[in-house]
Amino acid sequence: MTLVPSNDFLPEEKPAAFLDRDGVLNQDIGYLHETERLVWMPQAVEAVAYLQAKGYRVFVVSNQSGIARGFYSETEVDALHETMQGVLHRAGTRIDAFVYCPHHPEGIIERYRVDCSCRKPHAGMLLGLMERFPTSRRDSFLVGDRETDLAAAAAADVRGYLYSGGSLLDFVMGIVERDYTGGGA
C-alpha cells in the first residue's frame, strides 16, 4: 500500500471522496501501467478539482493485481500515479493520496500471493486512509465502477456509488448536491 503525498499533521476532520482508478478516473484498458496509455475519463480532472473545492480530501483506492500476476511492478504503478498527479497539479488540483493493493491470492509473484484485507471488496485501503487522515465517515463516499468497490464502501461504513461512464464531474456533482447538501465545505 502506497501513500503519495503525505502530511503528518492533519488535525481537521474532513469528508473524503474515495475514487477507484481504472474505470473511474481513467479508462479501464486492462492492467494499465504505462503512462503513455493513460486516458482520463471525461471531466475527471475537473471532478477532482470540484471535490477539493467542496472541502473533500480526494483519495484513489485501486486494486492492482497486475503486480501479483507479474504484469508490471510497483515502480511502474508509482510512476503512473506521479504522472496523474502532475496533470492534476497543472490543473490546480491534486489527489491527497494514492493507495493500491498489489496482492492477489492467485498471483505468480510469491510475496504478493496473499488474500489480504486491503484488496477490495475488503475495506483495508479505506480504513487505513481514514486512520491516517481524520475523516468524517458520515460525509464521505466512494465512487467505483464495480460491485467490489461498493462492497468495500459498505464494509468501511461509507456510501458507495456505481459509475458507468460519462462526465465524472456531473456524476460527483450529483452526489454532493443531492446527498451531501454541498459537501464538506
Q: Is 20 one of the annotated active-site residues of the chain?
A: yes
Facing residues of 160 across strands?
Answer: 142
Residue written as grid cell 493507495:
99
Around Cβ 154, how many Cβ atoms within 10 Å? 14
DSSP string, 78-137: HHHHHHHHHHHHHTT---SEEEEE---TT-SSGGG----SSSTTS-HHHHHHHHHS-B-G
Q: Are strands 159-162 and 16-19 parallel, antiparallel or unpaired?
A: unpaired
- Identify the active-site residue in 20, 96, 139, 149: 20
Q: Is 170 one of the annotated active-site residues of the chain?
A: no
For the annotated catalytic residues, the residue numbers are 20, 22
